[in-house]
Structures are given as C-alpha cells and as structure tokens.
Amino acid sequence: MATAARSLHLPALPKPSNPSSRNHLPVPSQFRPLPRRHGRRRLAASSSDLTSFPDSTPTPNGVFVPSAAAHPAAAATIDVDAATEAELRENGFRSTRRTKLVCTVGPATRGAAELEALAVGGMNVARVNMCHGDREWHREVIRAVRSLNEDKGFAVAVMMDTEGSEIHMGDLGGAPSVKAEDGEVWTFSVRSTDTSLPDRIIHVNYDGFAEDVKAGDELFVDGGMARFEVMEKLGPDVKCRCTDPGLLLPRANLTIWRYGSVVRERNAMLPTISSKDWIDIDFGIAEGVDFIAVSFVKSAEVINHLKSYITARSRGSFHFIAKSLIGVLNCDCFIVCPSDIGVIAKIESIDALKNLEEIIRASDGIMVARGDLGAQIPLEQVPSVQQKIVRMCRQLNKPVIVASQLLESMIEYPTPTRAEVADVSEAVRQRADALMLSGESAMGRYPEKALSVLRSVSLRIEKWWREEKRHETLELQDVSSSFSDKISEEICNSAAKMANNLGVDAVFVYTKDGHMASLLSRCRPDCPVFAFTSSTSVRRRLNLQWGLIPFRLSDSGDMESNLNRTFSLLKARGMVQSGDLVIALSDMLQSIQVMNVP
Ligand SMILES: Nc1ncnc2c1ncn2[C@@H]1O[C@H](COP(=O)(O)OP(=O)(O)O)[C@@H](O)[C@H]1O
Ligand SMILES: C=C(OP(=O)(O)O)C(=O)O
Ligand SMILES: [K+]
Ligand SMILES: [Mg+2]
C-alpha cells in the first residue's frame, strides 16, 4: 500500500508573485528536431537548471521548441500542490493518481494535525456538511484548511453541503447513537422541546410529518439502516414498531414508504434551499468556499437560482471595489465577474433522477449521493443509476463525485471488506472524477487509513485500466455553445488523442478559467494534464477534476515565455526533465504544440 507519502516532510513552497500584465498576441513558432525520447526518467534537478535554455532552431518537422529568449524565469514562481509534487518526484508522470479524493471533515478530523495528515494523504477537497455542527465549528475548519494551503503549499478546495429541508431526526440529546431493537415501540414526535427527550422518543424536524404518515406506512431511518412500521398517530406523536433493528445516528434522514414506494406528501413542497440554508450559503460565500453542494436537488431551476445569486453577490462586492477605483477615472463600465464558487447538485431523490439531464447541464458538478438515493429507489437500482450519471456527466463535461459508504466498515475497522474494495474499484473504472469519504473521515476511527485505501485502489485500477484498454471507443458528444468553444473542444479532443498515440509524458494547458483543462480531463487521456492558471480559485476548483494537476502560474502574456518559464521552474523542482515529451495548449492561443522539454 502506498503509505510512503504520509511520512514525507514537505517543505513550505514559495509564495506566488503578482500576475504580470497580459498580452494575447500569438507567438511565432520556432522549430528544431525532436530528440530521442528518454527511457526511465530520473526526476532530479539542480538549481543550475534554472539558468538557461539552449537556443532553438526552426526545423521542417513541425515540432515546436521554445527559443531561449533570455527569459527572466527566476523572477517568477509556480505553485503546485505539495502532495502532488512529492508524488511526481517519487513516481514520475505515469503513476500520478487521476481520481480525486474528497473527505468529509467531522469531529475525527477537524484538528490541524489531522487535516494536514489528510492533505498529505491526498485529500483534494475538504467537505463540510451543514447538517451537522454550527457555523462557528465550520468556520474554524474552513480557516484551518486555508491556513494549511497557505503555510504548507497545498491547494485543498473546500466544499460546503447545504442541509436541505428533507425530514430528519433530532440530535438524540447528545448521544452518539442509540440502538433500536426488533419489536420495540418508539415514538417519533414533532413536538418541539428544548430538553432532551425520554428513551425511545425521537424528535422529527418537519412539522407536517404527523400529517403525512398513515398507519401501516414504513419509516426508513438513514435509507433503511433501521426500519419501523407506523402503528398509530396521536396528535403530534407517531407510534412505530421497529421491524428491522439498527443504530440510529443523530440527525439521520427519515423516509416514509407506502405500498413499496416513497411517499411524497406535503414534504414534496418543502423548498430545496431552506431559509437556514440561505444563511449557510451567505456564510459559505463570506468564508470563500470553492463549492456549494446542494442537497436534495429536484430541478435545474434551483441550481440556476443559486448560481445567479452567487454571481450577483460576487459582482456586488466586485462593483464596490471597481467603483471606488473607476470613480477616480470618472468612467463607468459593466464588469462581468464569473463566479468563483462552483455549484454541485447532489442527486439523491427520485425527482432529481426525473430531471437528471437538465440538472447536470445547469450545475458545475454532480454528486451521486448514494446514501439518500438508496433510501428513495430500490437498492439494486443504485449501481446502474450511478453508472448512468457518471457517463452523462462525462458527456456533458461536468465533474462527478461518487459518494457514500465506499468504505463504511472502516468507520470501525482498520481494513475494508472485499466488497468495499470492489465498489471503489468500480467507481474508478467508470472513471468518475472523484470519490468521497463521509463517516469514514468525519467520525470514523481510521480516517487516514480509509483515505490511503482510496488512494492505493485508485492508483492500481487506473494503471490496470491503461494497460487493459488504452483506447476506449467512447464517442464524446459536442458540448460547445459557440464556434470558439467548438474550436477549443476539437483542439482538446485531438490533443488527447495525439497524447495517447504518441505516448507523451504530459499535456500542458494554459487556461484562464479552467474550461480547456476540463475539456481535456473529459477525454480521460493516458497521461496527466498539467493545468496552469493565474487564478488561485480556478486552481483549487480544478482539483476536483479527473487527471488534472493544477498549478498557479502568473501569465506572462505570451505562450512562448509561459512555456519557457514553466520548463525552467518545473525542472528546478525536479518535476520534469530535459527530453520529456509534452503537448502544450492554451486557451489564448488556440493551437497544439508538441515538444520535448529543452
Ligand atoms: N460537523 C460535524 N459534527 C459532528 N458530526 C459530524 C459532522 N460532520 C459529519 N459528522 C458525522 O459524520 C457522519 C457522516 O457525515 P455525512 O455523510 O456528511 O452526514 P450524514 O450521515 O448526515 O449524511 C454524520 O452522520 C455525523 O455523525
Ligand atoms: C452524500 C450524501 O448526502 P449526506 O451525506 O449529506 O446525506 C448522501 O446522501 O449520500
Ligand atoms: K444530509
Ligand atoms: Mg444525503
């Protein structure tokens, strides 16, 4: 198992310099013959690599090599994830992990040392779930992740899940869990109370609960981890008999079933984003989270609404700054400020499945939230639904996270079951962008071990898949919305194909907003994609996408000097070396260049 990275001591990385001014003029290419490819690479470099490049000369074979042009490379810096850098140095390009890992942060992992261990172990995104804990609790976690990024050179993105207004139980008066035994009679009550309730009485958060249920209904706790049959209703109290014993966890979700399907009564009218969720969303925007994951999405409408809200909010604050600057110049202009926060739709209800395609199109990413989904559709349908969602997301170029119970037994035990390993393998083989830990990292006994299982299984299956099926015949549909987009898409499709056919070491993409990087990721090429962007927030968001290694690099204004700088900075850090074959793309200069690192 790949546990080595956990014991690595990673030095703090240099701080970014200010981005220099832009100039988007295309650069004339210069050429020279392609040297023979190196065999096994040694990723060692000395600081002398920083100093100069050989002059390049034009050749007729169309291979571009940047000219020396005395570039002030030493003046610039590049930011790369400390965990990736260690991985690259150790194993080279081919074996970097392509599948991204999301960890839910909870009581077991909120401390600075625990968070750092997760980052070192490969956590790409830290998730906080607003179902649990208060805002102060989450604020501390978000700030701890940010300090970790700043002090230790990580680029861990933060995702915040909304609570949503589905029906769930209360807090159990502070108990970590309670056991319901077969045949026991429990009362589910909507009576509000501040004091802890007597044994076998559970508070339900939704006032309409007692009206929605009928005697004879089945009540599923947490998607069927325990089940009850409704016996009778006594005003706000619903008396139920336990039919399937199980552990009840605080704030577990409740679903009502009647004649074999989920009951959608008045609770179908609950808003997807409750008033408490809106306050949490404002909190998330203020704290600068990278993603907001919306629980129990039913339609694309709510995603569009949230996206315009976020854009309006960021434009509002941008305008405030812009106005004070522009006011001095006595002019006015309309500034379009694309949102810095990605909106993820959690697919966990029948309604979401009905409107799947339009929800995927509206969102910036999708979570296959199998926990609650498995409570709303028969369990045996979950695997095929997962595969369908993963495929559709790839077609529509949206990152997709497979979530819940991947390594559930590791909440308690240090090794996973065979079935769990098979489940993780299947998600990796489907080439989902990311895998997520929930309870395993939030409140389990072995968060780091669980993460290391995800990491080693991902690496193994990715390698196996490259060997087994190098070139799959998946036809990617056209996703572009304009002619210029169409050009980018064609360039990325062709570059990915060339990368596989030529067996290049890496594709480099210079991208302002990350779009071209995600189009490349969508092709799932055999080599990693190094994505260079001048924006720290784009860099963090790209961390959710398959196969992308995001770097922050100030844009020097033209492709040639960007390349020269990249080569010298990466060589100085031992991450590439002379002779490595790369394909380079840029969204400013729509071209494909094939070259050896000078
Ligand atoms: N901020 C938190 N505070 C306390 N417990 C938490 C927190 N976040 C997560 N947990 C625990 O970890 C479990 C798994 O987290 P998650 O999957 O996000 O939520 P849920 O189980 O409610 O769907 C939760 O059931 C809860 O017990
Ligand atoms: C990821 C999920 O959502 P949550 O953990 O918030 O219930 C799920 O239901 O699978
Ligand atoms: K939830
Ligand atoms: Mg859920």
Tell me the per-residue pLDDT of 319-339, one tens digit each, with 9 for 90 and over: 444 444 444 433 333 333 456
Ligand 2 within 6 A of 168 CB?
Answer: no
Which pLDDT belongs to residue 556?
80
- Looking at the chain, the whole-number percentage of residues with pLDDT higher than 70 is 82
Residue with tokens 């830990």: 437
Lowest mean pLDDT segment, chosen from 50-59, 156-165, 505-514, 530-539: 50-59
Residues 497-526, mean pLDDT to the nearest whole number: 95
pLDDT category, 142, cuts 50, 70, 90?
very high
CA 522 to chain centre: 14
Average pLDDT over residues 367-384: 94
Distance 135 CA to ligand 4 centre (A): 19
Q: What is the mean pLDDT of residues 482-511?
A: 94
Tens-digit pLDDT profile for residues 154-178: 999 999 999 998 889 988 888 888 9
**Higher model confidence: residue 128 or residue 84?**
128
pLDDT of the residue at 299: 96
Q: What is the mean pLDDT of residues 201-205?
A: 92
Domains of the chain by start residue, with CATH? 4-95+478-596 (3.40.1380.20), 100-165+272-468 (3.20.20.60), 172-269 (2.40.33.10)
1, pLDDT greater than 50: no
Burial, 348: exposed, middle or buried (Cβ in 10 Å; 0-12, 13-18, 19+)? Answer: buried
Residue type present at position 369: A
Q: In the chain, what is the straight-line distance between the N-terminal and C-terminal CA atoms, in Å?
A: 35
The mean-pLDDT minimum among 106-115, 247-256, 422-431, 434-443 falls in 247-256
Backbone φ and ψ of 89, nearest 5°: -65, -40
Q: Which residue from 98, 58, 38, 9 is spatially nearest to 399, judged by alpha carbons?
A: 98
Cβ atoms of 514 and 541 closer than 8 Å: yes
The pLDDT value given to residue 470: 58
Of 69-78, 287-296, 537-546, the poorest mean pLDDT is in 69-78
How far apart, in whole angstroms, are the C-alpha atoms of residue 128 and residue 291? Answer: 10
Residue 370 Cβ inside 6 Å of ligand 2? The answer reads: yes
Distances (CA, A) of 34 to 38, 93, 223, 555, 580: 12, 20, 58, 27, 11
Q: Where are the beta strands (DSSP E) in 223-305?
A: 226-234, 237-244, 246-248, 254-258, 261-262, 291-294
The answer to whether 264 and 375 are in contact (CB under 8 A) is no
Cα angle for residues 488, 494, 499 (degrees, 5° grid): 120
User: Among all ligands shown, which has an atom nearest to the Cα of 374?
Assistant: 2
Q: Distance between CA atoms of 326 and 343, rounded to whole angstroms?
A: 31
Please say whether the beta carbons of 440 and 423 come within 8 A: no
The DSSP result for 477-506, as a single string, is PP--SSHHHHHHHHHHHHHHHHHHHHT-SE
- Can you name the residues that pair with 127 across neighbouring β-strands? 104, 159
**pLDDT the model gives residue 88:** 82
Exposed, middle or buried, 590 (CB in 10 Å: 0-12/13-18/19+)? middle
Confidence label for 515 from pLDDT (cuts 50, 70 and 90): very high
Could you say which DSSP state residue 213 is in? -
CA 527, CA 154: separation in Å to the nearest integer?
A: 22
436 in Cβ contact with 403 (< 8 Å): yes
Q: Which of 44, 117, 1, 70 is nearest to 574 (CA)?
A: 44
The pLDDT assigned to 19 comes to: 33
Query: Measured from the CB, is residue 438 less than 6 Å from ligand 2?
Result: yes
The pairing of strands 226-234 and 237-244 is antiparallel
Shortest-distance ligand to the CA of residue 439:
1
How close is the Cα of 129 to the center of ligand 4, in Å?
10
* C-alpha 129 to ligand 3 mean position (Å): 7
DSSP code for 246: E
Q: How many CA atoms lie within 13 A of 86 on its CB side?
A: 22
> Does pLDDT of 56 surpass 60?
no
pLDDT value at residue 222: 86
Q: Give me the chain's average pLDDT, please.
A: 83
> Mutate which of 110, 129, 142 to test ligand 1's pocket (most atoms within 8 Å of Cβ)?
129
pLDDT score, position 80:
84
Residue 317 has what pLDDT? 57
Paired tokens of 253: 């979700």
| 3-state secondary structure at position 541 | helix
DSSP strands (E only) in 348-489: 365-369, 400-403, 434-437
Query: In this predicted structure, what is the pLDDT of residue 583?
Result: 97
CA atoms within 13 A on the CB side of 118: 34
If pLDDT is split at 50, 70 and 90, which confidence band does 300 have? very high
The model's confidence at residue 474, banded by pLDDT at 50, 70 and 90, is: confident
Only one residue has tokens 């968070």, namely 115
Taking only the tens place, the pLDDT of each residue in 258-276 is 998 888 877 778 899 999 9
User: Please, which pLDDT band fits residue 78 given cuts at 50, 70 and 90?
Assistant: confident
Pairing of strands 185-189, 201-203: parallel
Mean pLDDT computed over 424-448: 97
Check pLDDT > 70 for residue 57: no
**Least confident range of 8-12, 143-147, 234-238:** 8-12
Would you state the pLDDT for residue 409?
Answer: 96
Report CA(369)–ligand 4 centroid distance (Å). Answer: 6
Mean pLDDT of 234-263: 92
Express each pLDDT in 12-37 by its tens digit.
333 333 333 332 323 233 323 333 33
What is the torsional sign of CA 210, 212, 215, 220?
negative
Mean of the pLDDT values across residues 273-293? 96
Instruction: Extract the tokens encoding 328.
Output: 């001095």
**What is the atom index within ligand 1 of the atom nearest the CA of 141?**
1
What residues form DSSP beta bridges with 553?
78
Q: Measure the CA–CA gap between 460 and 480, rounded to whole angstroms.
A: 34
516, 522 Cβ separation under 8 angstroms: no
What is the 222 CA–ligand 2 centroid distance (Å)? Answer: 10
Q: Quote the CA–CA distance of 475 and 489 in Å, as a whole number.
A: 13
- Ligand approaching nearest to the C-alpha of 127: 1
Residue in 251, 404, 443 to alter for ligand 2 test, most ligand atoms within 8 A of Cβ: 404
Q: Contact, 202 vs 187, CB < 8 A?
A: yes
Q: Please classify residue 320 by burial: count the beta carbons closer than 10 Å to its beta carbon, then call 0-12 exposed, 13-18 middle and 19+ buried.
A: exposed
Which whole number is the average pLDDT over 372-393?
95
DSSP string for 443-469: T-S-HHHHHHHHHHHHHHHHHHHHHH-
